[in-house]
Chains A and B, each alone.
Chain A
C-alpha cells in the first residue's frame, strides 16, 4: 500500500475508473495538460488523451450543462469546477436539470454525473475561494452530496460516486488536499454513499462532523479525554445527503449528548438539519441541548481573519463541555 495525499488518492480513483470504463470522461477548466489547479487530474491527459480529459472554455454553466447532456447520452462525466465559489454560474443546471431529469421522465432519462469541486477555508486563499456551501446541494431534491475527510475515503467515495446512477456533488476540502498522507490500497475500494462512519467510539457524547472539520473534531475528542476524562464518540458523515440518520440517532441514544461541527455558516446549515433529525429521532434520550459549532453567519473573512472564523478543537471542546454540564 502506498501512502498518498488526498490529491493522489482522487487521481488514483479517476485513473482506475477511466481504465475500466470508457464512458468515464472528465471535463473542466485546466484539467488537461495542466492537471487541474490542484493537480487532481495530473497525468490523466497524457494517459487518456484530450477526448477523455477535456479542457473546457471558462464557463461553469457549459461544464455542468454539457455534463448533463453527456450523462443523458450514456456517458459518465466527472466534471471539475475549479473552486466551489464559482459553481453559481451553473447552479441552474444542477437545480433545474441534473437533479430532476430522472424524476421528470420517470427514469427514462438519467444523469449519472459527478461534479467535483474544492471547498472550504484554511489555505489562505483569495476571495471566493473558501466558501462552504454544501447545504445548497443537500437541500436540492434529486442530488446526492458527498464530502470525504481524508485520502482513503476520498478515493473510495469517488469511485462510488462515479458508479452511482444519480448525480453526485462531490466536495473536496482544500485544507485536506495535501495536509496528510494515508495508506491507500492500489486494489479497488468503494464506500457506500449515504453511510456515515464512527471514527472514534465513546459513550459520553457524540461529535458529528465531516470534511475538513473532522480533524479538529478528533483533536477535541483527544482534549476531552486527556483533560476531562470524557469519552467522545466522533462520527464522520461522509455523505450529507442522503443523511445516515440511523447511525446518528443510535449514537446519540447511547450518549445523550451531541455537538455538530461544520465550517459552513450556522443558519440553515447542515447542523440545523442534523439537530432537527436528532430531535425527531431521540428527543427523549437527550440529556442536554445539542450544540452547534460552525462558521459564523458572515461571509467567510479574507484569510487574515479566517482562523477565528473556522471552528477549532478548543471551540469544539468548549461546546462539548457545555453539553456535559447538564
Chain B
C-alpha cells in the first residue's frame, strides 16, 4: 500500500561524433574502411546532386511534384550502409538517397515522380518495399516483415524510415509496440527534420526528444546528430547488430533538417524564417563529411572533382534513359494490369470499353 515511485527505464543517449565545426570525438570514431567511406560519400553526393537535378526538372515541367531530401543525406546513407542485401528497407517518401543506395535506379525515381507506375517496381536486386505515401502506415509492414523473418529463423533485419510528423500517427505507436512485444528485428529510423510541411516539431510533441518514446515501449532509443554520418553509422550499426543477434528493435532519432520545401508544391517562406534555414545550412552533412575525409586523406580534391563529374554524367544518363523510356510507356490500358493475379470479368469489360474508346470507336462501345 501507499504511493511510491516506479523508475520506468533508463535515460536515452544523445550521440555526436563529428560536429559542425569539424571537431571529432576520436574515442567514439567508428572504424570504417576507406572503401566504405568513399562509398558513403559517393551515395551522399549522388543523393544531393540528383535531388538538385530533380528540382530543375520539376521547375522545367519535366517531372511532377516530388519531396526533396537535401540536408538529410547523412541520416539516410549512414544508416542504410549498415544493411546487408538480405535485409529489408521499408521507406517512407523522403528517402530517395537511401533507396538508390539499396539498388533503386534513378530512372525509377524519375518515372515515379512523372506519374508512371513503373516507378514503384522494386528492382530484383532490392529486397525492399516501395516508398509509402500515407504517413507512418509503412511502419507496421516493417514489423510484419520482421516477424516473418524471425518466424523463418533467418538473421534478416528490417529498417524502416519515417519523419517527425509520423510519430504523431497511431501506426507509429502500434508498430513500436508490436515490434517490442514480439522482439522483432526492426530498426526504426526517424528523420526528425523539424518540420511536417508547415507544422514544427513543437506542435507534434510535448516530449523533450522523440527518442524517449522508445522507453515507453520497452526498447532502446537513441538520439543522434543526424547530420553527422559517423554518429548515424555508429548508432544504426549497434541497432542492426542487436536486432540481428536476437536483441529486438531499436528506435533511432536522427536530428536533421529539411533544407528545402516539403514538396515542390510547397513554399516554406510562409511559415519559417530564412535565419533558421541558414543556421542549418551551416550544419550541412555533406560538407562536414567531405572535410573529415579530406583531413583523413581518404579524399583528395582531385578525387572529389572526378567523382562530381562521374555523378553528373550518371545522372544525365539516367535522365536520358528515363525520358526515352517514358515515351514508350503510358499505355492507359496498363491501369488494368496487376490489380489481381487474374483480371476478373467486370474489369475485362471495362478494359475492353476503354480499348474501344481509345481506338476512336466510343460510339459503338456504348451500344450494348
Q: In this complex, what residue of B is CB-closest to A143? A: B340
Contacts of A107 in B (CB 8 A): 338, 341
Q: Is residue B122 within 8 Å, beta carbon to beta carbon, of the partner chain?
A: yes
- Residues of A near B175 (CB, < 8 A) are 62, 65
B117 contact set on A, CB distance < 8 A:
103-104, 106
B130 contacts chain A at the CB level, 8 A cutoff: yes
CB distance from A274 to the nearest CB of B (A): 12
Contact with A along B116-153 (1 / 0, CB 8 A): 01101110000001101110011111111111110110
B149 and chain A: residue at smallest CB distance: A73
Query: Does A21 sit within 8 A of B, measured CB to CB?
Result: no
- Chain B residues with CB below 8 A from A51, complex form: 151
Name the interface residues of A86-139: CB closer than 8 Å to any CB of B.
89, 92-93, 96-97, 102-110
Query: Given A70-B147, A141-B339, A242-B346, do A59 and B178 touch, yes or no (CB 8 Å)?
Result: yes
- Does the CB pair A72–B118 fall under 8 Å? no
Whether A142 contacts B145 by the Cβ 8 Å rule is: no
**CB-nearest residue of chain A to B181:** A57
Interface assignment of A189: CB less than 8 Å from any CB of chain B: no
Q: Which residue of chain A has its CB nearest to the CB of B146?
A: A69
Residues of A37-65 at the interface with B, using a CB-CB cut-off of 8 Å, are 51, 56-57, 59, 61-62, 64-65
Interface presence of A25 (CB below 8 A): yes
Q: Are B345 and A62 in touch, CB under 8 angstroms? A: no
B171 at the interface (CB under 8 A from A): yes
Q: Is A306 an interface residue (CB 8 A)?
A: no
Residue interface mask B324-360, A partner, CB < 8 A = 1: 0000000000000111110011110000000000000
Do B178 and A72 touch (CB < 8 A)?
Answer: no
Minimal Cβ-Cβ distance residue in B for A104 = B120
Are B178 and A102 neighbours in the complex by a CB distance under 8 Å? no
Chain B residues, Cβ within 8 Å of A77: 144
Whether the Cβ atoms of B148 and A93 lie closer than 8 Å is no
With both chains docked as a complex, state the minimum distance between the C-beta of A101 and any C-beta of chain B, in angstroms: 8
A61 with B140: CB separation less than 8 A: yes
* Cα distance A228–B363 in the bound complex, in angstroms: 45
> Would you call B122 and A109 a contact (CB within 8 A)?
yes
A89 to B174, CA, bound (A): 11
Which B149-176 residues sit within 8 Å CB-CB of chain A? 149, 151-152, 170-171, 174-175
Q: Is A194 an interface residue (CB 8 A)?
A: yes
Q: Which residue of A lies closest to B343 (CB)?
A: A242
Interface residues of A in 251-298 (CB under 8 A from B): 280
Number of A positions contacting B (CB below 8 A): 45
Residues of chain B lying within 8 A (CB to CB) of residue A66? 140-141, 143-144, 147, 178
Assess whether A69 is in contact with B147, with CB atoms less than 8 Å apart: yes
A314 to chain B: closest CB distance in Å?
A: 34
Tell me the smallest distance from the CB of B340 to a CB of chain A, in Å: 5
Chain B residues within 8 Å of A206, by CB: none
Tell which of B137, B152, B338 touches A92, judged by Cβ atoms closer than 8 Å: B137
User: Are A73 and B145 neighbours in the complex by a CB distance under 8 Å?
Assistant: yes
* Chain A CB within 8 A of B368 CB: yes
What residues on A are CB-neighbors of B178 within 8 Å?
56-57, 59, 62, 66
Residues from chain B with a CB closer than 8 A to the CB of A71 are 144
Inter-subunit contact B120/A166 (CB<8 Å): no
Q: Is B177 at the interface (CB under 8 A from chain A)?
A: yes
Q: Is the beta-carbon distance between A69 and B338 smaller than 8 angstroms?
A: no
Expressed in whole angstroms, the Cα–Cα distance for A141 and B177 within the complex equals 31
The reply to whether A67 and B144 contact each other, CB–CB distance below 8 Å, is: yes
> Within 8 Å CB of A75, what residues of B?
148, 151
Question: Which residues of chain B are within 8 angstroms of A109 by Cβ–Cβ distance?
Answer: 122, 129-130
Query: Which among A74, A77, A242 has the highest number of chain B CB atoms within 10 Å?
Result: A242
Q: Max chain B CB contacts within 10 Å: which of A56, A67, A70?
A: A70
Residues of B within 8 A of A (CB): 90, 117-118, 120-122, 129-130, 132-134, 137-149, 151-152, 170-171, 174-175, 177-178, 181, 337-341, 344-347, 368
List 15 A-B pairs, Cβ < 8 Å: A57-B177, A57-B181, A62-B177, A65-B139, A66-B178, A69-B144, A69-B148, A74-B148, A89-B170, A93-B140, A105-B121, A106-B118, A106-B337, A242-B347, A245-B345
